[in-house]
Amino acid sequence: MYRAPFPAQLSVSDRRVIDNNATDVRVYQVWKGSNKFFLGGRVIFGPDVRSIFLTISLIVIPVLLFCAFVSRRIIYAFDNHLGKLIIFILILLTVYDLILLLLTSGRDPGIIPRNSHPPELEEDGSTMSTDWLGSQSSAGVPNLPPTKDVVVNGVIVKVKYCQTCMLYRPPRCSHCSICNNCVERFDHHCPWVGQCIGKVCYASVLIFQFMKNVG
């Protein structure tokens, strides 16, 4: 939740009055990405959230057709209620598949919050890449973003600076051009779920794809 800092000259009592009268601004209300929020910011979708309705229809319609035209033959073909059990398992897996789809589409995939101000290169100990220094134009405008060295498991890794989010992206982090956010362990932006596939929702996607292949 964003809140403007208090002036240093205010007393404690004045700060309490301002704090009680000020209206709090939620993070989703000042979000600079392209995401769409629902339920007071509790659910976050990508900008192409409408594609999830197509995905749901591609899952639900075949199941409904199966239950309407094939399920009766299965029920009569098997004895001891085995046919009914097969239909029940089919419906249960379909519901589970839809739950995984909604969890994947409506959750934060691992978005790294933006910085309000760019970091100071001299203060944080970052080092410029020689490729970046050599690619500067005559006017002094860089063609490539700066980088700095970080140590990961004893190995020096160069991380790139994101001009949009004003931060150094951790390893395996990329900026999604569709959602306009930096996502940790970014894999891709999936048009079927309308959301980025990243650190948080990657396991749900694997299970969802497995269930879809089984179905």
Active site annotation includes 190: yes
Residue 5 lies in a domain: no
Cβ atoms of 110 and 183 closer than 8 Å: yes
Three-state DSSP class for residue 27: helix
- Pair 107, 188 in one domain: yes
- Pair 106, 188 in one domain: yes
Cβ atoms of 114 and 165 closer than 8 Å: yes
What percentage of the chain has pLDDT greater than the value 90? 21
Q: In this structure, are strands 188-190 and 181-183 parallel, antiparallel, or unpaired?
A: unpaired
Q: How many CB atoms lie within 10 A of CB 76?
A: 9
- Pair 106, 53 in one domain: yes
Q: What are the two backbone dihedrals, phi and then psi, of residue 204, each rounded to the nearest 5 degrees?
A: -65, -35
pTM metric for this prediction: 0.68
Which residue of the set 162, 165, 179, 190 is catalytic?
190
- Pair 49, 65 in one domain: yes
- Pair 52, 155 in one domain: no
- Pair 52, 156 in one domain: no
- Pair 49, 79 in one domain: yes
* Unique residue bearing structure tokens 């933006």: 114
60-96 pLDDT tens trace: 999 999 988 988 888 888 877 888 898 899 999 999 8
Residue 22 lies in a domain: no
Domain total in the chain: 2
Q: In this structure, are strands 155-162 and 167-168 parallel, antiparallel, or unpaired?
A: antiparallel
- Pair 102, 156 in one domain: no
pLDDT for 211: 57
Q: Which residue has the higher pLDDT, 128 or 180?
A: 180
Residue 80 DSSP label: T
In which domain, by residue range, is 100 found? 45-111+183-214
Three-state DSSP class for residue 130: helix
Mean pLDDT of the chain: 77
pLDDT for 12: 43
Length of the chain: 215
The string over 46-61, giving b where at least 16 C-beta atoms fall within 10 Å of a residue's C-beta and e elsewhere, is: bebbebbeebeeebee
Residue 81 DSSP label: T
Residue 166 lies in a domain: yes
Could you give the dihedral angle defined by the CA atoms of residues 199, 204, 209 and 214, in that order, rounded to the nearest 10 degrees? Answer: 150
- Pair 123, 93 in one domain: no
